C-alpha cells in the first residue's frame, strides 16, 4: 500500500493523526507544503524526516525556507530564484504573509536546509509527483491542478501512469490524477485531515495448462480517507503565537 499526503501546513496534531492511520503503508509520499500557516513547522519537518516520507517542495516550503535570503549572493539560490521567491511571497494574502515571516523566523537552520533540498518533482513507483502542476519551476511550485483541468493530463507526456499533486487542498480522485487533499488545512468544507491510499489492482492470467500463472498491475485504486484530529490544540497553539493571525485557526473548524 502506498499512502500520499500533502499540505501539512505545520499542523502537528493533524499530521500525527494521519501517520497513525497509515502506519502500515509500504511507502509514504508527500506532495509538498510541510510548513506555512500552522504553529509547528519544526515538529512537522522532524516527523516527515523521522518517518522517511518522500516529499517534494511546495510553494510555502520554498518561500519560508528562503525568505531570509532575498538579498545577497548565494551559490545555491541564484538571483532568478530570489525574484521568484519574492513574487510568490507578495502574491500571498496578509495572513499567509504574516505566517510565512513567522515561520521563516522560527525554522531551525537544519530544517531550512531540509526544505531547500526537497526536489520539485519525484518520479517513482509509477507516480509523477509535483506540488502544483507539471511544467516550469513556477508551475510545479505554485500553479493549481483543479478538478476541471484533469482532462489535460491525458495529453501530457508524463514518465508515469499517475500524476500526484497538492496545493489546492481539495481532493481529486481519478484513474490518472490524485490530489490527497490537505492534512493540515482542508478547503473542501470538511475539517478532518485528508489523505489518499493507493492500492494496485492486479490481473491474474494463466496458460492453458493452468500451471504457469503470472500477475501484472493494470491500474491503481485510489481511496481518499479522512481522519479527525485534535483541532482545538492546533487552534490554541496558533492563538498563543502573537504573530500568527487567529483567523488561521478559526478557518480550520469549517474546512476552508
CATH of the domain at 197: 3.60.21.10
Domain residues for the domain of 100 are 2-254
How many domains does the chain contain in total?
A: 1
pLDDT bin (cut points 50, 70, 90) of residue 71 is confident
Nearest to 170 by CA among 194, 149, 199: 194
Tens digits of residue pLDDT in 204-239 = 433 444 444 444 443 467 899 999 999 999 999 999
pLDDT bin (cut points 50, 70, 90) of residue 99 is very high
The set of cell numbers assigned to 178 is: 490524485
Residue 149: DSSP 8-state = G
> Which residues does residue 129 pair with via DSSP β-bridges, in sequence order?
122, 164
The set of cell numbers assigned to 101 is: 515571516
Query: Residue 16 and residue 152: Cα distance in Å, rounded?
Result: 34
Determine contact, residues 57/120, Cβ cutoff 8 Å.
Answer: yes
SS3 32: coil
Determine contact, residues 226/50, Cβ cutoff 8 Å.
Answer: no
User: How long a stretch of residues is the chain?
Assistant: 256
Determine contact, residues 50/56, Cβ cutoff 8 Å.
Answer: no
Tens digits of residue pLDDT in 165-183 = 999 999 999 888 999 999 9
Residue 178: DSSP 8-state = E
pLDDT bin (cut points 50, 70, 90) of residue 161 is confident
**Exposed/middle/buried for residue 221 (C-beta within 10 Å: 0-12, 13-18, 19+):** exposed
Amino acid at each position: 500500500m502506498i499512502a500520499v499526503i500533502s499540505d501539512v501546513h505545520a499542523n502537528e496534531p493533524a499530521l500525527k493523526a494521519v501517520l497513525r492511520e497509515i502506519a502500515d503503508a509500504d511507502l509514504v509520499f508527500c506532495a509538498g507544503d510541510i510548513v506555512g500557516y500552522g504553529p509547528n513547522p519544526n515538529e512537522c519537518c522532524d516527523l516527515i524526516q523521522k518517518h522517511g516520507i518522500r516529499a517534494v517542495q511546495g510553494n510555502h516550503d520554498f518561500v519560508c525556507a528562503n525568505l531570509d535570503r532575498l538579498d545577497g549572493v548565494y551559490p545555491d539560490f541564484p538571483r532568478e530564484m530570489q525574484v521568484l521567491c519574492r513574487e510568490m511571497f507578495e502574491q500571498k494574502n496578509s495572513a499567509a504573509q504574516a505566517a510565512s515571516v513567522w515561520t521563516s523566523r522560527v525554522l531551525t537552520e537544519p530544517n531550512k536546509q531540509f526544505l531547500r533540498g526537497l526536489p520539485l518533482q519525484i518520479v517513482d513507483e509509477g507516480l509523477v509527483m509535483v506540488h502544483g502542476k507539471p511544467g516550469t519551476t513556477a508551475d510545479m511550485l505554485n500553479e493549481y491542478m483543479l478538478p476541471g483541468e484533469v482532462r489535460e493530463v491525458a495529453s501530457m507526456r508524463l514518465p508515469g501512469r499517475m500524476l500526484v499533486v497538492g496545493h489546492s487542498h481539495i481532493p481529486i480522485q481519478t484513474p490518472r490524477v490524485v490530489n490527497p487533499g490537505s492534512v493540515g488545512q482542508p478547503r473542501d468544507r470538511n475539517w478532518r485531515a485528508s489523505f489518499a491510499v493507493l492500492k494496485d489492482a492486479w490481473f491474474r492470467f494463466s496458460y492453458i495448462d493452468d500451471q504457469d500463472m503470472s500477475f501484472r498491475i493494470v491500474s491503481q485504486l485510489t481511496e481518499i480517507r479522512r481522519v479527525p484530529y485534535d483541532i482545538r490544540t492546533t487552534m490554541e497553539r496558533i492563538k498563543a503565537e502573537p504573530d500568527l493571525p487567529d483567523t488561521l485557526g478559526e478557518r480550520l473548524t469549517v474546512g476552508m
